[in-house]
Amino acid sequence: MWFLLFIVAVAALAGLHFWWRARFNTLQGQRVAEIETSQRRQQQTAVDAKAQQQVLFNSMLEGLLLLDRTQKIYLANRSFKNLFGLKVELRGKTILEALRLHELDDLVKRVQVEGQVFDYEVKLPDLSERWLQVNAAVINNSAGEREGTILVFHDLTRLKQLERQREEFVANVSHELRTPLSLIKGYTETLLDGARNDPAVAERFLKIIERNTQRLDLLIQDLLTISALESGRMKLELQPVNLHALTEKILGDLHTKAENRNVVLMNEVPELTANGDVNRLDQVIANLVDNAIKYGRVEGHVTVGGKQLEDGRLEMFVRDDGPGIPPEAIDRVFERFYRVDKARSRDQGGTGLGLSIVKHIVQAHGGEVWVESDPGKGATFFFTLPAA
């Protein structure tokens, strides 16, 4: 009897043992699965955070560069790569290895000593003459230990270009004002010194003074016009404009000037009607025709023509058969005060602002302006306008 009870107890204990073992294995498996799931979630969270960080860095307009404690690149955002035209992987490289710029390498060394450097300017050694502003600082952890360095790059090229244009503008205006003022002053002093007593000499000097006074007035008017156009203060009075009739009127106004150089003026503009400011379009066509007469060849031809484009816009052109424009000057002829032939331009008169005014008036109408030229075969200036 006792033996039988002993056997039953042993069997019960064995069954209980196997049941708890199976239960333990099940619980252990669940625990392992939970740990693995938690680890996967943590890894995914880290990946998501890193992706969000990368998106944030890449959305910045400024170039961002992070260096680790060994001064090697840890992270570079898209704007940084675009600034330097880089497409290769930069991580693990030094600045000198990645960019070959000793100035930036010296900046990193300087930051390690000073802790931070602001408004550091770097000129990139390429043909486009680009400037960057760099702000840099070291990164310390909560214990005050140095973890790395951060550098933020801002493109200064446009600001530098605007500053250079401002300086050139001031220099050019000063020169343009000084020349007629010097002549007026000189001839006035000569008249006051006694030349006024000779009627022939006095008349000649007074005509020179009058001509240079008109030149000053024209310069001031052109400066006011281009200032109003560039600032957007000039309002266009839009109305239907008959371009054939307007061209005919302008060619009549310039007929005497063309006769003096034996230039034939031709109006080949069909019956086109633009939506524009008639006074400003008068300036555009008159400026282009006047230039064609002055800088085309003697006994040449100046033709004004136009057509309607497939998209509904109107295209006008002014063509001469003179010496043309050198290829290196094509992209600059619409700049303020730019002159292809400075000596000849000053002999012919003018302010050097005419083509810049043409460009701004056409753009104010929503059009485009450009020039095509083969040296020795003349030049053709084109511009587009909205149709009425």
Given this model, what pLDDT does residue 345 score? 47
List per-block mean pLDDT (blocks of 10 residues) for the chain, which spans 388 residues: 57 61 64 68 62 64 88 88 85 88 90 91 79 91 85 89 79 79 88 84 88 84 80 84 94 90 93 92 93 90 92 92 86 78 51 84 92 88 93
Given this model, what pLDDT does residue 45 score? 62
- Helices 199-231 + 354-364 axis angle, to 10: 30
| Upper half-sphere CA count for residue 310 (Cβ side, 13 Å) | 0
Contact 305, 292 (CB under 8 A): no
Given this model, what pLDDT does residue 351 score? 64
Given this model, what pLDDT does residue 46 score? 57
Class of domain 236-388: alpha beta
Residue showing tokens 């990193």: 108
Q: Which of 308, 325, 329, 316 is nearest to 378 (CA)?
A: 325
Q: Which of 385, 381, 384 is nearest to 289 (CA)?
A: 381
Residue boundaries of the structural domains of the chain? 61-155, 157-234, 236-388
Amino acid at 4: L
Class of domain 157-234: mainly alpha
Q: Which of 83, 67, 60 is nearest to 131 (CA)?
A: 83
The token duo for 349 is 């008169």
CA distances from 89 to 18, 48, 54, 75, 176 (A): 58, 21, 15, 10, 53
- Which numeric CATH code is attached to 61-155? 3.30.450.20
**Positive/negative CA dihedral, 101, 120, 168, 334:** positive
Domains 61-155 and 236-388 equal at CATH topology level: no
Given this model, what pLDDT does residue 49 score? 55
